[in-house]
Amino acid sequence: MNARIKDLIQQLGEAIHESVSESEQISGVVREIREEGFDVLLMLEATIGLNEVTEDETDEDTEEGGTFTRNDVSFLKSLRISLPDEPGGDDADESPDVAEE
Considering the entire predicted model, what is its pTM? 0.47
Give the N- to C-terminal CA distance of the chain in Å, as an integer. 50
Domain boundaries, the chain: 1-50, 51-89
Confidence of residue 33 (pLDDT cuts 50, 70, 90): very high
CB burial string 55-89: b at 16+ within 10 A, e below? eeeeeeeeeeeeebbeeeeeeeeeeeebbeeeeee
Specify the range with the lowest mean pLDDT, choosing from 35-39, 68-72, 95-99. 95-99
Return mean pLDDT, the chain.
76
